[in-house]
Amino acid sequence: METVAFAHAADAHIGAQERIFMKEGEKKALSDLVDACIRDRVDFLIFSGDLFDSNVPSMSAATAVAHELKRLKEAGIPVYEVHGSHDNSPTHSSMIEVLEGAGLLINVYRPVHSGDLMGLEPVIGPNGVKIYGMPGLREGREKEYYALLERGTIEKEPGKKIFVFHSAIEEFRAGRFAKMEAIPLSYFPKGLGYYAGGHVHQQIIRDVEGYGVIAYPGMLFAGWGVEDLQDYSINGGGFLMVNMGESVNVEPIKNSPVALEVVSRNADGLSSEDYMKKLEPSKDYSGKVVLIRLGGHLSSGRVADISSVYLRNAYTKAGAIDVMINRGDLSGPERKILRAGSASQLEEEIMKQNLKGQIKPDVAKALLDILSREKMEGETDSDYEDRLIKEAELILEDILRSKKLRRSN
């Protein structure tokens, strides 16, 4: 069997960023990945989920991604993917399906019935490599499918094999990912050589006895929340270049298309006036996007006294090309004001505070997304209502199916 060379990326979350320079950074990170694939003449690209931040992204985000995937297609480089928890839609109304239909992506999740278990058919890639895939689902619900996975047949298949997945692994969890929903390593088929992971926004490369190299490339750019932005400011984004022959060699490629610096100041024991002074820029920030993280508890004054306009002007004068302000960890004598890094984060926080465990925020958001769908051209009111009801029913059916699987196990 010949050596195969491929790129492995994940978690681009195209569409997550709301500031213009960060939006451009998302697109530049993807373009840089494609440039590297073409320059190094890789055999293929593996994308382990969450290409987009939403299953129905903006036209601008979708157009940018389609342009880059077309470049790969024209260069003869296939792209193999599994859906991530952000890409996935129980109604299959996802931009990923559109790109697959256009021949720009190949979904390697090919489930087959195997008695009471679920088997996987491989996609045969360049030089005969066999590529298997498992998607990520909302709230980690794919765990039930891993429990039903018929691993023996996959393990017995000869030749070079790759397993593409979008889930955390229990034994690998650490730091801010320690409580993440995860799959036990024992649920994965053994001996495949390379396991191309996604979902964990952290670079992990381990050679595990009995399995092979298990790798997470981390975020392609800056992910989708303030903690991801913090990590990006320290480690950057990136992807992996892999050579798979008699042995597996993995080369991390770092990429930071936007220079981001985080300014974090604690307000404990300070008045709002003194805290504003503490937040003043203390150096030159030329050419950088600045994220100001406000945190702690003011001794007097109000959270509203911390002027975003003043801070943006001050840091712009110090050379910053853009300034983002996160107030999520700041409180004062008055009731804490909820602020999040993006509209989607704010929406999620409000749901967590008000749903009180009756329904999970991800499910509520999925149902809310359906209600925000617009009528299609030529669609009657009746057909429009029927379509929304059908999509909502599919989400609820998916939840009930998962509950039944849990009870049966």
Q: How confident is the model at residue 13 (pLDDT cuts 50, 70, 90)?
A: very high
Looking at the fold, whether 239 and 376 belong to one and the same domain comes out as no
The range of the structural domain enclosing residue 130 comes to 4-255
Instruction: Tell if the pTM clears 0.85, that is, is over it.
Output: no
Identify the sign of the CA torsion 270, 274, 276, 279: negative
The last residue of one of the domains, among 195, 228, 255, is 255
22 and 52 both lie in a single domain: yes
Instruction: Look at residue 121 and give its three-state secondary structure.
Output: coil
346 assigned to some structural domain: no
State which of 198, 222, 255 marks the end of a domain: 255
Residues 277 and 219 in one domain: no
| Average pLDDT score, the chain | 88
- CA distances 329 to 295, 335, 351, Å, are 4, 12, 18
Instruction: Assess whether pLDDT exceeds 60 at residue 339.
Output: no
What's the pLDDT at 23?
Answer: 95
Span 308-327, pLDDT tens digits: 999 999 999 999 999 999 99
Number of Cβ atoms within 10 Å of the Cβ of 350: 14
What is the DSSP code string of 218-270? --SS--SSHHHHHHHHHH-EEEEEEEESSSEEEEEEEE-SS-EEEEEEE-TT-
| pLDDT of 278 over the 50 cut | yes
> Residue 359 — very low, low, confident or very high, per pLDDT cuts 50/70/90?
low
Residue-level pLDDT at 321: 96
Q: Mind listing the pLDDT tens digit for each residue in 40-95?
A: 999 999 999 999 998 888 899 999 999 999 999 999 999 999 999 887 766 556 88
Q: What is the pLDDT of residue 352?
A: 62
How confident is the model at residue 340, as a pLDDT? Answer: 47
Residue 351 belongs to a domain: no
Q: What is the pLDDT of residues 181-212, one digit of tens each?
A: 999 999 999 999 999 999 999 999 999 999 99
**pLDDT one-digit tens code per residue, 365-403:** 777 776 766 656 556 666 667 676 777 766 676 666 655
CATH number for the domain that contains residue 75: 3.60.21.10
Asked if residue 145 and residue 160 are part of one domain, the reply reads yes
Same domain, residue pair 142 and 285:
no
Is residue 44 located within the same domain as residue 94? yes
Considering 203, 226, 255, which residue would you say is the last residue of a domain?
255
Q: Are 134 and 234 contained in the same domain?
A: yes
Instruction: Identify whether 64 is part of a domain.
Output: yes
Tell me, yes or no, if 86 is annotated catalytic: yes
Same domain, 249 and 276: no
Residues 239 and 266 placed together within one structural domain of the fold: no
Residues 85 and 26 both lie in one domain: yes
The identity of residue 52, as a single letter, is: F
How far apart are alpha carbons 399 and 366 in whole angstroms? 12
Considering 8, 13, 83, 86, which one is annotated as catalytic? 86
216 vs 177: CA distance, rounded Å: 13
284 and 154 inside one domain: no
Does 352 reside within a domain? no
- Same domain? 41 vs 176: yes
In a domain, 350, yes or no: no
- For residue 285, tell me if it sits in a domain: yes
Chain segment 157-179, per-residue pLDDT in tens: 999 999 999 999 999 998 889 98
Query: Comparing C-alpha atoms, which of 48, 226, 14 is closest to residue 142?
Result: 48
CA separation for the pair 8, 33 (Å, rounded): 9
Give domain status of residue 35, yes or no: yes
What percent of the chain shows pLDDT beyond 90?
A: 67
Q: Of 42, 221, 224, 194, which Cα lies nearest the Cα of 130?
A: 194
Find the mean pLDDT for residues 277-283. 94
Kindly state whether residue 347 falls inside one of the protein's structural domains.
no
Domains in the chain: how many in total?
3
| Pairing state between β 161-165 and 193-196 | parallel
